[in-house]
């Protein structure tokens, strides 16, 4: 895990991620994806399941139920209308938030973002970690189910 300090960043032991912004949990430069997994229980069989993804930050959000892929959502509303027979009982819901290269590659110090950036624009003195321009990523809210 990487956390901002007076000059740059410090590396600390990683902690399990929670719902919320990855960049504030030690992953400010992480560019891959994080999968959030929850178990739900249906009280009866259903032929229609509406799933709404709460507030999130990233490039794409995907959905799986019991290991079956139900696709991706790129723009609001971040919801999935599933017309399928779901049996009464427990099911595993997986939501994956996919990041991008913005926080890894920068530019980290420009107020003119987005721009064409060069290493010639890099600071001459190592800035405080908090001065890096980092975009938030992660699932801020939970998953909502509607029948």
Q: Give the tens place of pLDDT for each residue, 90-102.
A: 999 999 999 999 8
Picking from 29, 21, 6, the residue whose alpha carbon sits closest to that of residue 131 is: 6
For 85, the token pair is 């027979």
Strand, helix or coil at 102? helix
Name the more confident of 122 and 11: 11
Position 117 scores a pLDDT of 62
What is the token pair recorded at 42? 């249906």
Q: Which residue do the tokens 């891959």 mark?
A: 32
CA–CA separation, 93 and 107 (whole Å): 35
Instruction: Give tens-digit pLDDT for 28-69.
Output: 999 999 999 999 999 999 999 999 998 999 999 999 999 999
Q: H or E element: which one contains 86?
A: strand 79-86
Would you say 1 and 27 are in contact if contact means Cβ atoms under 8 Å apart? yes
Give the model's pLDDT for residue 111. 65
Task: Delineate the domains of the chain, giving CATH numbers in brackets.
Answer: 2-146 (2.60.120)
Q: What is the pTM of this model?
A: 0.85
């Amino acid at each position: 895990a990487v956390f901002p300090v007076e000059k740059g960043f410090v590396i600390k032991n990683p902690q399990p991620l929670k719902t919320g912004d990855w960049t504030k949990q030690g992953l400010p430069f992480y560019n891959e994806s994080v999968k959030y997994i929850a178990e739900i229980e249906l009280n009866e069989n259903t032929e229609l399941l509406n799933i709404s993804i709460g507030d999130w930050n990233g490039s794409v959000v995907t959905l799986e139920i019991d290991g079956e892929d139900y696709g991706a959502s790129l723009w609001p509303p971040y919801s999935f209308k599933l017309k399928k027979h779901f049996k009464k009982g427990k099911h595993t819901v997986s939501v994956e938030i996919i990041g991008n290269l913005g926080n890894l590659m920068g530019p980290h110090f420009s107020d003119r973002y987005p721009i064409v950036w060069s290493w010639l624009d890099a600071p001459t003195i190592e800035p405080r970690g908090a001065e890096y321009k980092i975009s938030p990523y992660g699932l801020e809210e939970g998953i909502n189910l509607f029948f």
